[in-house]
Each structure stands twice: as structure tokens, then as C-alpha cells.
Structure 1
Amino acid sequence: MTHLPYIAAAYGMTISLAVLLGTNAALRLRRARARLATIDRPARTGRGTER
């Protein structure tokens, strides 16, 4: 009896979970940076922008 299917399944699940978590973190980081850029952008209301 070989243990190859169990080992292959364990490695496959580990790699797929790592890819899933990495992708999720990258997408959350991109969304957070976009929100921060929106917050940090100066408001162009016309008040106090005269030169």
C-alpha cells in the first residue's frame, strides 16, 4: 500500500490554501490603498484653494 495519494492531497490542499489566502490579502490591500487614496485626496470644494 502506498501513501502517495494522501501525500499528494495534503500538498495540493496546502498549496491551494496558500494561493487563496495570498490572493485574498492582495485584493484587500488593493482595496485599502484605493480607500486611503480617496481619503487623502484634498477636497476640491473651492474653499481655501485660491492662489
Structure 2
Amino acid sequence: MPDLGKYAGEVLSAYGISLALIAVLLIVTLRAGRRARAALKHIEREGSPDA
């Protein structure tokens, strides 16, 4: 690990926050994709009410 000097706490917390935000965005994106796929399957199976 590189020597971060007196800012080690700030740098490591910034890395931690960044990784946490990336993880949250990944989870939200995967859930939205799953929901969209389910809606598309439903539309394909039932047909669009507008059609």
C-alpha cells in the first residue's frame, strides 16, 4: 500500500464511499433491468393494452 501520509483517512474513506456508491448503482441498475425484462415478458405474453 502506498504511503498516503496525513491524508490516509480521507483518501481511504473516499475510496470506500466511491465503492459503496458504485455497488448501490449496480444493484439499482440490475433491479431495474430485471423489472423491465419482467414487464416486457408480460407485454409479449398478454399483448399491449394500446394495441
TM-score range, shorter chain: 0.7 to 0.9
Q: Gaps spanning 5+ residues in structure 2: where?
A: none
TM-score scaled by structure 1?
A: 0.77
* Runs of at least 4 residues off by over 6 Å: none
Provide the aligned C-alpha RMSD in A.
1.5
Structure number with greater CO (CA < 8 Å, separation at least 6) is 2
Partner AA of 1:7 in structure 2 = V
Shift, 1:42, TM fit: 4.8
Q: Paired residues, what number? A: 43
TM-score scaled by structure 2?
A: 0.77
CA distance in 1, matches of 2:7, 2:37: 45
Which has the larger Rg? 1
Q: Gaps spanning 5+ residues in structure 1: where?
A: 44-51
Quote the sequence identity (%).
Answer: 30
